[in-house]
Amino acid sequence: MRLKLVTRLVVLLVLAVLVSLLLELPFFWRQFYPLRYKKYIEEQAEANDLDSALVAAVIKVESNFSPRAVSRADARGLMQLRLSTAREVARGLGHTVGDDFPDKLFDPEYNIILGTRYLAQMLRQFNGNEILALAAYNAGPNKLRSWLEAGTWDGTWKNRRQIPYAETRNYLDKVQKAKKRYHRHFNND
């Protein structure tokens, strides 16, 4: 009886060690945190002075790397850009915004060009504060400012539970978790 108990404990210990080793393998995490369009991500992250892991994390959370993704709010593509935001960013870059523009947002390279530019704009608007920039990217900069001005949220990571939108609270958590994983991708490749 005692031998069976010891055997079971040894088997459980060996399984625990194997699982912990598996969790450290890059191959394992790449199944949950894919990294597609790496070239575009790196190019545009550099062009906009952004962390490549942050851009990949935003894409993961926004669309799970699906270039044809469309949200309930009609945000489109990898970085889930709303048409009004995308048009504004495109015009700021000197791009022509024609009738085919909504469909261009499904092009991975073009979506990443516009999305990284917009994310960089949010970082500048909020003095480099990544948490505020991400909240603005998700909820909109005007909504974020209203929360800050009303004292609804103090703008800190620690007090993110004060954010009135559950979607934005969850978004911040998911992006930060994904960013840590993508740092490993970029460092191991």
Q: What is the pLDDT of residues 82-96, one digit of tens each?
A: 999 999 999 999 999
Q: How far apart are CA 48 and CA 116, in angstroms?
A: 7
Q: How far apart are CA 149 and CA 24, in angstroms?
A: 43
Model pLDDT, residue 111: 98
Please check whether residues 84 and 151 belong to one and the same domain. yes
Domain span at residue 5 reads: 1-32
Q: What is the DSSP string of 31-72?
A: HHS---SHHHHHHHHHHTT--HHHHHHHHHHHHTT-TT-B-T
Please check whether residues 54 and 94 belong to one and the same domain. yes
Please check whether residues 23 and 109 belong to one and the same domain. no
pLDDT in tens, 31-80: 567 789 999 999 999 999 999 999 999 999 999 999 999 999 999 999 99
Question: Do residues 163 and 169 touch, judged by C-beta distance below 8 A?
Answer: yes
Q: How far apart are CA 175 and CA 168, in angstroms?
A: 10
Phi, psi angles (nearest 5°) of residue 76: -130, 150
CATH number of the domain within which 140 lies: 1.10.530.10
Catalytic sites, residue numbers: 62
Please check whether residues 92 and 135 belong to one and the same domain. yes
CA atoms within 13 A on the CB side of 132: 20
Helix (H, G, I), strand (E, B) or coil at 97: coil
CA atoms within 13 A on the CB side of 139: 24
Please check whether residues 2 and 47 belong to one and the same domain. no
Please check whether residues 14 and 92 belong to one and the same domain. no
What global pTM score does this model have?
0.84
